[in-house]
Structure 1
Amino acid sequence: MKTLPAFCLLLLSVSAPAWAQQTPPCPTLPTNAELQWEQRGDHSYIACKAVTADGRQVLNVMLTSRDPKISLERGLRAEEGNFSGREMYWYRPDLGGRNMPGMESRRITVVKLGKDQYAQVWINAESPAELATLRSLAQQLDVSAASATLLSAGR
């Protein structure tokens, strides 16, 4: 009978490190956003996808410890903004010069949050009004805790 308690202790000691290595949570969404995060990640990134009740992805935030090296051309610059306390610009997606329907309400940006801390943010709005709402929502997000946790987990 003494083997059962020993087995339980062994099981707990194996499970504890797995709990400690869980991916940090996505930033808190405002309660009135009516969106829900879908999340995935590991020690080097966190991908947060905000989805509507009908499953449409409208806002994506990826936090990473690696520079994404995404080239955002000045000619595609759209609006000034703020993300997690950092000033930045939103850009229209580069489609190789093609003008596709619905793309006027989509945006992308990359924000350097700190040393080895980056955020890539995409907005997939269906209208200019929804774009304005999602830009405002993105401005309210605070990713500092998640990005700091990500950075420390990667070391």
Structure 2
Amino acid sequence: MTLLKWLPLAALLVSPAAFAQVATCPGLPASAEMSWEKLEGPDFTYCKAMRADDGEQAFAVMLRADAQFRTRRSHREGSQVWIDGHQVYWYRGDVPNGIVRETLLELDRNSTAHIVVRASDDGELARSLQIAERLQFDDMRLGSN
């Protein structure tokens, strides 16, 4: 009985970081035939969408409180799209020998999702964008580590 009496006090003394939740990768569409490879950092979660057929990366999502990516209107490609209820644009990235599209979602007050799609040709780009635009961020929680 005495142990039960002190348990709530002990819970208050435990570091708040112990209760912090790290971000989970967004939900992939069932038809995507991809899986996530997840890397955790001190203040971010990096999710790589890997294709089942060839094991190659289709796109990546960086989840963190404050995104390093900054949009530039001059790099905007195409019209607005919706990703899980967020109205965004894709932006052209600059890399040699490839095609890159990036976008940024403000998930809530303290978390962002930076999506980067890299492709070798227009067909691969279109397939990866189609899947990335169907990601679900419903249960995203970014804890402070």
Q: Which has the higher helix share?
A: 1
Paired residues of 1:23 and 1:43 also in contact (CA < 8 A): no
Structure-2 separation of matches of 1:35 and 1:67: 25
Structure-1 separation of matches of 2:41 and 2:97: 35
RMSD of Structure 2 on Structure 1 (CA):
2.6
**Secondary structure at 1:112 match in 2:** strand
Q: 1:122 aligns with which of 100, 116, 119?
A: 116
State the match for 1:71 in structure 2: 70
TM-score by length of structure 1 reads 0.69
Alignment of 1:6-155 (within 5 A): 23-42=22-41, 44-53=43-52, 54-68=54-68, 70-79=69-78, 80-95=80-95, 100-103=96-99, 106-146=100-140, 149-150=141-142, 153-154=143-144
Structure-2 separation of matches of 1:125 and 1:35: 16
Structure 1 residue runs of 4+, over 4 Å off? 19-22
Residues 86-137 of structure 1, C-alpha deviation per residue, up to 9 Å, x if partnerless?
1111011035xxxx3322xx20112222212111000012322222222221
Structure-2 separation of matches of 1:60 and 1:20: 27
CA 1:37–1:21 in 2, change beyond 3 Å: closer, same or farther?
Answer: same
TM-score by length of structure 2 reads 0.74
Structure-2 separation of matches of 1:143 and 1:118: 10
Query: Aligned letter for 2:35?
Result: Q
Structure-1 separation of matches of 2:101 and 2:21: 30
**Secondary structure at 2:123 match in 1:** helix
Paired residues of 2:21 and 2:144 also in contact (CA < 8 A): no
Structure-2 separation of matches of 1:84 and 1:43: 26
Q: Which has the higher strand share?
A: 2
Identity of aligned residues (%): 31
CA 1:23–1:71 in 2, change beyond 3 Å: closer, same or farther?
Answer: closer
Report the Cα offset of residue 142 of structure 1: 1.3
Could you tell me which runs of 5 or more consecutive residues in structure 1 were left unpaired when the two chains were aligned.
1-18
